[in-house]
């Protein structure tokens, strides 16, 4: 109940084209139900599991996510659970961040917090090492989503707390397994997201000006991809 109420509050207050909006809510007894806008294209995780994305498609998805994060961060909200399963799609090409059950509301005076939640594979280094955290934890998580889109899996080194701490201590960083297969623009974008030093990590607003993002086509160009994956999954379900 507490998580649902928190999610309801953040969605009621923060309405944006790149956030899944809450249309209504009902409390029956002790059961709270949220009526969400329908995202008929499923999750980005589904798409990643079924097909390879082009760099143009990755760029468009990244831009849409960054627009949502920039809005949240401008309103002093940390999403805290950015991952491919929480990025929802619509067959018109829309891309929206979902699941605000773990969000953190900051104040203009309080730009950081000491405890941050999230999924292990997407946690930023400062979260793993127990440092005070700010909105850029979401940027690290988006960078992990970027590697997911490229390699169709979450990097293994931050699956447990021990390995990330070791990587950070030795100055290591998340990298693509076969970087030469991808453009320097994509590689630089991921590098800007995945700086282990939070101060050097770019903000959502800065990343929206990165050439990889500014060159992205309209979200509507994602529609054929989303529809194709949806039809493929429906056929598998029917079998």
pLDDT per residue as tens digits for the range 172-190: 556 677 888 899 999 999 9
Strands 104-105 and 95-97: unpaired
Residues contacting 33, CB < 8 A, separation 6+: 25, 26, 27
Q: Is the pLDDT of residue 219 over 80?
A: yes
The lowest-confidence range among 119-133, 195-209, 223-237 is: 119-133
Does residue 13 lie within any of the structural domains?
Answer: no
Catalytic residue among 81, 99, 138, 188: 81
Judge whether 15 lies within some domain. no
* Helical H segments across 34-183, by residue range: 44-50, 55-74, 125-128, 136-151, 162-169
pLDDT of 111: 46
Q: Is residue 117 part of a domain?
A: yes
- CATH code, domain with 220: 1.10.510.10
Q: Please check the confidence at residue 192 and state whether its pLDDT lies above 70.
A: yes
Number of domains in the chain: 1
2 occurs within a structural domain? no
Kindly state whether residue 180 falls inside one of the protein's structural domains: yes
- Which of 33-42, 59-68, 94-103, 157-166 reaches the highest mean pLDDT? 59-68
pLDDT of residue 128: 77
Q: Which structural domain, as residue segments, surrounds residue 211?
A: 38-238
Question: How do residues 97-148 score in pLDDT, each as one tens digit?
Answer: 987 655 555 555 454 544 555 556 678 888 777 787 889 999 999 999 999 9
Active-site residue, 81 included: yes
């Amino acid at each position: 109940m507490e998580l649902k109420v928190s999610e309801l509050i953040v969605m009621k207050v923060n309405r944006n084209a790149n956030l899944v909006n809450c249309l209504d809510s009902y409390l029956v007894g002790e059961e709270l139900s949220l009526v969400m806008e329908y995202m008929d294209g499923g999750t980005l995780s589904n798409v990643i599991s079924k097909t390879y994305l082009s760099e143009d498609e990755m760029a468009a998805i990244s831009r849409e996510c960054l627009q949502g994060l920039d809005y949240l961060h401008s309103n002093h909200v940390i999403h805290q659970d950015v991952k491919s399963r929480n990025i929802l799609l619509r067959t018109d090409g829309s891309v929206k961040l979902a699941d605000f059950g773990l969000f953190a509301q900051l104040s203009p005076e309080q730009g950081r917090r000491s405890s941050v939640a999230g999924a292990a594979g997407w946690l930023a280094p400062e979260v793993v090492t127990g440092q005070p955290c700010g909105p850029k934890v979401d940027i690290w998580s988006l960078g992990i989503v970027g590697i997911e889109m490229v390699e169709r899996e979450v990097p293994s080194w931050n699956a447990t707390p021990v390995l990330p701490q070791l990587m950070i201590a030795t100055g290591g960083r998340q990298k693509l397994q076969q970087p030469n297969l991808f453009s320097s623009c994509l590689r630089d974008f991921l590098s800007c997201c995945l700086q282990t030093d939070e101060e050097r990590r770019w903000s959502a607003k800065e990343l929206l000006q990165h050439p990889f993002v500014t060159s992205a086509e309209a979200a509507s160009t994602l529609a054929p991809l989303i529809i194709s994956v949806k039809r493929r999954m429906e056929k598998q379900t029917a079998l």
